[in-house]
């Protein structure tokens, strides 16, 4: 565990102990390593690590553009161009000026090469354009006319180049934006076309879809939202119809996004590019700078400082002072092929906080608690198909995904992700682990996890989706997730899956080397605990074989993205699935150990009804009716309240005073005692 030398200040920062001076110490640690690895002639910050799939030229550019994401905000706000590091005084402006000139000189040994269609250089050119704009007084304005022409010509090679129709379109927009702001030729048509294209991908609730396919992840926080905000800051007045929308969406995004941060500073490890780490908090200071953040400055700094501190103390910064290729420490299985040794420095975007004045409330306000430190919560983000739940007792936060899909399956395919547990990422025997997943299997060896969840409905404490088999869309599995207190019930209905059996797993339990996890089995449940973490799964319907917690492929080592060792409990359906059959489990996990027998009793009754719907009665008396799959017209009484119609989910209070109903068409209504929900007229 690595810690800062500076003493913590618990008066100003009662939750993290960190102040602006602690940020400065981490900044100097990271910057010193960048300086020590700088190779000006090669136009590179030559960190050790595995090369990316983009080639050496791209990796060298990436190392410069991304480490400069730290240096540029510092140069923007500082009165000086140099900084004193442990290795001595360093002129940061001169260093990056020389690196950029070496990389953009077509005749030089370090030339990065021009932009080409769909090339990583487009991403890094956008970052470099922003960095040059922020540091313009100390770098760009000091260049000679010929040097400016050289750098601008290199950036202009991006004009007209094709880009992926995802968040990358903002990079092409950014290149043109900053060419314009630096007084160089640019494409006004591209600037507006890409702005409008990204605007088109807005889905609601403050979240943007990342391209044609449904995908909602941290790219909203470290690319889409902040890049839009930088556009609004730099030239938003030129598009008065768009700027208010951009600002309003960022505000709404933060209203739900702030819930994703746990008491220990982590967020649920979910989605691709987890090597970017604390880039996830970069949106907070940018929103603060523009005066549109709904998050109070004391809470914003608590979230940001907590996140930086979490990664620092969890091994993100190696002995050489540089960010390692992994999520916590070095862990290559989580790193995508497109990431090289300089790629982790996307995390440096957190230092956009340096764009704020030293006396900004972000730095001076007393820390306020994160949302999970106030109380437990459950927050729905329907547009993104997400549920976010926090456990105040342990400080853990969960993210439930019922919409996002991507080719990096395991990073999106699980039903939920935890800030504390991690998930199984590696393959054994050519198949992914079944942790926190429902998997069809033709042979008990190959587990087919969902790759394309199709979102149906999400409201508070409930979400529904279905998945299709990648090579056979006639096979469909519908899944309804019901949240209750600190556990969940998952109800599945499989169509066309007669040639398969099924396996379903609970949350992966991670633990340190040398620890022996406690594994327990009950009449219809499996449980495992280690340290403060535990995981639990109970079979409610459809399964006939228990799978006590064990490591993936028989080996607990090296499969979990957060922990050295891990085990997963689950249940198997050994008989082929029958048409439209219901399978269901109760799942619970936490960062505080609980009694599995007590947990099992929280579902007092589970019954599959003749109409194919499911009746659940919880220990406190709340009654739930839900239908996974295409809802049929149903009529029944829940705690004395008569309901009828094509109901997706209905929940009646224990005392029968009211019932909340979600219909198949998305309409919601509340019925009270002595009211009847009549069937709609044809």
Question: Looking at residue 221, which CATH number applies to its domain?
Answer: 1.50.10.20
Instruction: Work out the mean pLDDT of the chain and round it to a whole number.
Output: 95
pLDDT at 1: 63
- What mean pLDDT comes out for the span 72-85? 87
**Spatial separation of the C-alpha atoms in residues 616 and 603, rounded to whole Å:** 7
Higher pLDDT, 284 or 443: 284
pLDDT at 187: 98
Q: Is residue 681 part of a domain?
A: no
Reported confidence tier of residue 89, pLDDT bands at 50, 70, 90? confident
406 C-beta neighbours (distance < 10 Å), count: 18
Residues 240 and 174 in one domain: yes
Residue where a domain stops, chosen among 562, 597, 632? 597
pLDDT at 447: 87
**Spatial separation of the C-alpha atoms in residues 622 and 603, rounded to whole Å:** 10
Among 477, 462, 493, 450, which Cα is nearest to 386's?
462
The predicted-structure confidence for 570-614, as pLDDT tens digits, reads as follows 999 999 998 778 999 999 999 999 999 999 999 999 999 987 899
State the total domains in the chain.
2
Reported confidence tier of residue 198, pLDDT bands at 50, 70, 90? very high
The region of weakest confidence among 60-64, 209-213, 249-253, 256-260 is 209-213
- What mean pLDDT comes out for the span 616-637? 94
Reported confidence tier of residue 557, pLDDT bands at 50, 70, 90? very high
| pTM of the predicted structure, to 2 decimals | 0.96
Residues 382 and 278 in one domain: no
CA 517 remoteness from chain centre: 28
CA 579 remoteness from chain centre: 35
Residue where a domain stops, chosen among 559, 578, 597? 597
- What mean pLDDT comes out for the span 220-238? 97
- Domain range spanning residue 173? 20-368
664 C-beta neighbours (distance < 10 Å), count: 18
Q: Is residue 663 part of a domain?
A: no
- What mean pLDDT comes out for the span 476-487? 97
Residues 181 and 256 in one domain: yes
Residues 359 and 386 in one domain: no
**Spatial separation of the C-alpha atoms in residues 296 and 304, rounded to whole Å:** 12
Q: Is residue 631 part of a domain?
A: no
What tokens were used for 651?
Answer: 């929940």
List phi, psi (to 5°) of 610. Answer: -60, -30
DSSP letter for each residue of 604-624: EEEEE-TTS-EEEEETTS-EE
Residues 359 and 422 in one domain: no
First to last CA, the chain: 66
- Strand partners for 586: 489, 538
Residues 238 and 102 in one domain: yes
Per-residue pLDDT at 86 exceeds 80: no
Q: Quote the percentage of the chain above a pLDDT of 90.
A: 89
- What mean pLDDT comes out for the span 3-13? 96
Reported confidence tier of residue 210, pLDDT bands at 50, 70, 90? very high
Residues 360 and 473 in one domain: no
pLDDT at 674: 67
The region of weakest confidence among 8-22, 222-236, 569-583 is 569-583
Residues 217 and 305 in one domain: yes
pLDDT at 87: 65
Residues 416 and 525 in one domain: yes
Q: Is residue 635 part of a domain?
A: no
Beta strands in 595-680 (DSSP E): 603-608, 614-618, 623-626, 634-638, 641-645, 647-652, 658-663, 668-672
Q: Are 425 and 500 in contact (CB under 8 A)?
A: no
Q: Is residue 195 part of a domain?
A: yes
pLDDT at 676: 57
Q: Are 520 and 619 in contact (CB under 8 A)?
A: no
Exposure of 540 in the CB half-sphere (CA atoms within 13 A): 28
pLDDT at 549: 98
Q: Is residue 434 part of a domain?
A: yes
The predicted-structure confidence for 117-131, as pLDDT tens digits, reads as follows 999 999 999 999 999
Residue for token pair 């729905």: 380
Reported confidence tier of residue 295, pLDDT bands at 50, 70, 90? very high
**Spatial separation of the C-alpha atoms in residues 61 and 68, rounded to whole Å:** 11
Residues 108 and 130 in one domain: yes
pLDDT at 81: 83
- Which residues make Cβ contacts (< 8 Å) with residue 265, sequence separation at least 6? 16, 305, 306, 307, 308, 309, 310, 311
pLDDT at 680: 45
The angle, 0 to 180 degrees and rounded to 10, between the axes of the packed helices 145-156 and 121-134 is 140
Residue where a domain stops, chosen among 549, 582, 597? 597
CA angle, 438 then 444 then 445, to 5°? 95
Q: Is residue 276 part of a domain?
A: yes
Q: Quote the percentage of the chain above a pLDDT of 70.
A: 98
Residues 413 and 546 in one domain: yes
Reported confidence tier of residue 681, pLDDT bands at 50, 70, 90? very low
- When mean pLDDT is compared over 14-28, 84-98, 464-478, 667-681, the highest value belongs to 14-28
Residues 305 and 440 in one domain: no
Q: Is residue 158 part of a domain?
A: yes
The CATH number that applies at residue 385 is 2.70.98.70
Per-residue pLDDT at 644 exceeds 70: yes
The region of weakest confidence among 225-229, 300-304, 452-456 is 452-456
Distances from the Cα of 461 to the Cα of 119, 387, 416, 589, 617, angstroms? 42, 7, 13, 16, 15
């Amino acid at each position: 565990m690595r810690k800062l030398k500076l003493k913590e200040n618990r008066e100003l920062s009662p939750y993290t102990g960190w102040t602006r001076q602690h940020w400065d110490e981490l900044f100097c640690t990271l910057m010193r390593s960048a300086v020590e690895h700088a190779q000006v002639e090669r136009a590179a910050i030559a960190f050790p690590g595995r090369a990316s799939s983009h080639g050496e030229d791209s990796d060298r550019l990436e190392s410069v553009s991304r480490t400069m994401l730290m240096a540029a905000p510092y140069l923007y706000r500082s009165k000086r161009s140099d900084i004193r590091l442990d290795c001595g005084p360093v002129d940061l402006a001169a260093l990056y000026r020389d690196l950029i000139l070496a990389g953009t000189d077509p005749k030089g040994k370090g030339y990065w090469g021009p932009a080409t269609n769909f090339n990583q250089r487009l991403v890094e050119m956008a970052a470099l354009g922003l960095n040059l704009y922020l540091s313009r007084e100390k770098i760009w304005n000091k260049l000679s006319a010929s040097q400016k022409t050289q750098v601008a010509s290199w950036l202009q090679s991006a004009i007209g180049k094709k880009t992926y129709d995802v968040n990358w379109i903002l990079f092409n927009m950014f290149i043109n934006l900053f060419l314009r702001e630096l007084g160089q030729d640019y494409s006004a048509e591209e600037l507006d076309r890409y702005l409008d294209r990204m605007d088109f991908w807005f889905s609601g609730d403050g979240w943007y879809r990342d391209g044609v396919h449904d995908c909602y992840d941290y790219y909203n926080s470290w690319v889409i939202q902040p890049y839009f905000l930088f556009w609004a800051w730099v030239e938003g007045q030129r598009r008065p119809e768009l700027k208010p929308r951009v600002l309003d969406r960022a505000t709404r995004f933060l209203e739900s996004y702030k819930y994703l941060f746990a008491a220990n500073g982590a967020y649920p490890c979910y989605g691709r590019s987890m090597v970017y780490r604390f880039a996830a908090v970069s949106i907070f200071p940018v929103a603060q700078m523009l005066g549109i953040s709904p998050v109070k400055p004391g809470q914003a700094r608590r979230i940001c400082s907590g996140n930086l501190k979490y990664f620092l103390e969890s091994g993100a910064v190696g002995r050489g002072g540089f960010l390692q290729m992994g999520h916590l420490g070095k862990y290559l299985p989580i790193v995508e092929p497109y990431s090289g040794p300089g790629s982790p420095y996307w995390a440096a975007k957190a230092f956009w906080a340096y764009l704020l004045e030293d006396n900004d409330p972000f730095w001076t306000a007393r820390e306020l608690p994160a949302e999970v430190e106030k109380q437990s919560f459950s927050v729905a983000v329907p547009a993104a198909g997400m549920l976010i739940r926090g456990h105040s007792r342990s400080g853990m936060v969960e993210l439930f995904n019922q919409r996002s899909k991507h080719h990096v399956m395991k990073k999106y395919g699980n039903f939920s992700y935890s800030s504390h547990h991690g998930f199984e990422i590696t393959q054994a025997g050519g198949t992914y682990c079944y942790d926190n997943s429902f998997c069809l299997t033709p042979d008990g060896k190959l587990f087919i996890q969902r790759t394309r969840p199709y979102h149906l409905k999400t409201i508070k404490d409930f979400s529904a989706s279905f998945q299709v088999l990648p090579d056979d869309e006639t096979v469909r599995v519908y899944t309804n997730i019901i949240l209750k207190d600190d556990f969940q019930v998952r109800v599945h209905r499989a169509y066309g899956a007669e040639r398969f059996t099924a396996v379903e797993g609970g949350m992966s339990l991670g633990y340190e080397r040398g620890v022996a996890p406690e594994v327990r089995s009950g009449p219809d449940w499996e449980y495992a605990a280690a340290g403060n973490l535990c995981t639990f799964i109970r079979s409610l319907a459809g399964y006939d074989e228990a799978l006590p917690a064990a490591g993936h492929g028989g080996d607990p080592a090296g499969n979990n993205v957060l922990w050295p060792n891990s085990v997963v409990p689950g249940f198997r359906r050994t008989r082929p699935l029958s048409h439209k059959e219901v399978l269901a489990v109760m799942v619970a996990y936490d960062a505080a150990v609980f009694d599995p027998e007590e947990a099992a009793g929280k579902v007092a009754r589970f019954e599959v009804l003749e109409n194919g719907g499911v009746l659940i009665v919880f220990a406190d008396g709340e009654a739930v009716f839900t239908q996974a799959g295409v809802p049929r017209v149903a009529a029944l009484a829940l705690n004395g309240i008569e309901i009828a119609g094509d109901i997706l989910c209905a929940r009646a209070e224990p005392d029968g005073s009211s019932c909340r109903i979600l219909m198949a068409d998305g309409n919601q209504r509340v019925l009270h005692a002595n009211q009847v929900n009549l069937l709609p007229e044809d």
